[in-house]
Amino acid sequence: MNGKRPARVTIKDIAHEAGVSYSTVSRVLNHYEHVNPVKRQRVWSAVTRLGYVVNQQARSLAGGHTRIIGLLVPELGNPYIGEVIRGVDEALASAQYDLLLYTTHRQKTRESTFVKALTHGMAEGLLLLVPTEPQAYAESLCQEEFPYVVIDHQGFDDYSPTVIGKNYEAAVNATRYLIELGHRRIGFIHGLRHLGSAIERFRGYRQTLEAYNIPFAPELVVDGDFLQWPGYLATKQLLEVADPPTAIFASNDLSAFGAMDAVRERGLTIPGDISILGFDDIPQSASVRPGLTTVRQPLAEMGQIAVRMLLSYIENPQHPRERIEVNTPLIIRDSCAPPAPRRKA
């Protein structure tokens, strides 16, 4: 640092205080087994007495571990992402790791420079949350044998360890639920077109319609970009359609909120006039009125699982890479109901 900090307490000070060599101190600190219990005791008490804190820089330079893992997220301020980070953070904290957070703001360049920096010494592992350009570095990560895990990205390759929800299945369930409530005209608010999860959800929606012999109506599919405002606009468009939908399946909760706004603005009620179903189950979805019926992605849990996977790869580089699919159950609240009997025009 700059303004010369008050002399640090180092391992040597501890050694002196405890009357042992500094290598012994290091061994105690790292929980080596072959060390005299008496000295071990003396070292620990010296440590607390002097308030020693290990210098991570030095430790990692000398070949130890940084106990830092990097997390790459597209943006912040999205509750979906917030939840995942929360899970990551929890799992990491309990494993005594620190979290280096990077935001790409969907800029490709930032993603790759970041990964470069990380893999060169700073972090021991890497978590990628719905990366925009995964191919760009997945390969380099892989060949450098740098531990990483991808969260919520439909496999862009076969070798990347991944934790992901069952997007297709969940979309099938959700659509089926609406159909069995009696809906035939079901609007669909599509997520970001280039994300695999959005595509899978749409696939589930479309194929379920077909399975029930309900004709697919292209005019009932609109873009919501996974955001509230676009979801609102999309829904306004949906409500203009000649034979408007009696239910709307939004690709995520945020766009479902937008849909709610549009429906209400129109003077219609939820679920009386129109049912709305979301995806994610972000915390708000439970506290909004009416409670949003939605597909639950265990976001925080996904973050935790990703951390566990990552740590196991770090500890044991031979550990076989996995792809874990978490369950995504339908959470039934108050925003869906059978369609109202058709009104006169």
Q: HEC profile for 180-195?
A: HCCCCCEEEEECCCCC
How many Å apart are CA 311 and CA 298, to the nearest integer? 20
Of 319-338, binders to DNA (CB under 7 A) are: none
How many Å apart are CA 288 and CA 226, to the nearest integer? 18
CB burial class (10 A; 0-12, 13-18, 19+) of residue 116? exposed
Residue 123 within binding range of DNA, rule CB under 7 A: no
Residue carrying structure tokens 């339908």: 330
Shortest separation between residue 73's beta carbon and DNA, angstroms: 27
Q: Which is nearer to a copy of itself, 100 or 340 (CB)?
A: 100
Write the binding mask 48 to 87 for DNA: x where contact by CB under 7 A, - elsewhere: ----x-xx--xx-xxxx-----------------------
Q: Which does 139 bind (CB under 5 to 8 A by kind): a copy of itself, DNA, none?
A: none
In contact, 18 and 46? CB cutoff 8 Å:
yes
The alpha-helical segments, DSSP class H, found in 118-187 are 134-143, 167-180
Of 311-330, binders to a copy of itself (CB under 8 A) are: 314-315, 317
Chain residues in the site for DNA (CB under 7 A): 8, 10-12, 20-24, 26-27, 29-30, 33-36, 39, 52, 54-55, 58-59, 61-64
Chain residues in the site for a copy of itself (CB under 8 A): 1-3, 5-6, 8, 53-58, 60-61, 63, 65-66, 68, 75-79, 82-83, 85-86, 89, 93, 98-103, 110, 116-117, 120-122, 124, 144-146, 228-229, 232, 257-258, 260-262, 264-265, 283-284, 286-289, 314-315, 317
